[in-house]
């Protein structure tokens, strides 16, 4: 998994691999890593555009430091939950 994630630029799903890759030292990967513990799973069916919109609205704010990862995920989850 380390070889794959390092080569493909993916965040590993296993905590031991994330630790071995030291994802916490990279500011962008750190945000993604922090979000995994507070994310809500969603099915992609007809809500894919809603999820995509929430990610586009709040992920850049977390990566830039304007919001913490937790604040961004809370706002994204709220937007997704309240979408019509």
Task: Work out the pLDDT band at 12, boundaries 50, 70, 90.
Answer: confident
DSSP string, 40-55: -----TTTHHHHHHHH
Calculate helix-pair angle for 69-81, 48-64, nearest 10 degrees: 160
Q: Determine what percent of the chain is predicted with pLDDT higher than 90.
A: 10
List pLDDT tens digits, range 36-67: 777 766 666 777 888 888 889 888 998 899 99
Q: For position 67, what pLDDT does the model report?
A: 92
Q: How far apart, in whole angstroms, are the C-alpha atoms of residue 12 and residue 47?
A: 25
Percentage helix, strand, coil for the chain under 3-state DSSP, each rounded to 5: 70, 0, 30
- Please state whether the predicted TM-score (pTM) of the whole model is above 0.75: no
């Amino acid at each position: 998994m380390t070889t794959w994630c390092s080569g493909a630029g993916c965040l590993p799903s296993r905590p031991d691999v994330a630790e071995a890759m030291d994802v916490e030292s990279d500011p962008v990967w750190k945000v993604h890593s922090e979000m995994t513990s507070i994310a809500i799973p969603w099915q992609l069916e007809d809500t894919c555009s809603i999820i995509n919109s929430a990610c586009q609205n709040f992920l850049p704010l977390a990566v830039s430091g304007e919001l913490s990862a937790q604040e961004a995920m809370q706002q994204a989850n709220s937007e997704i939950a309240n979408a019509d």
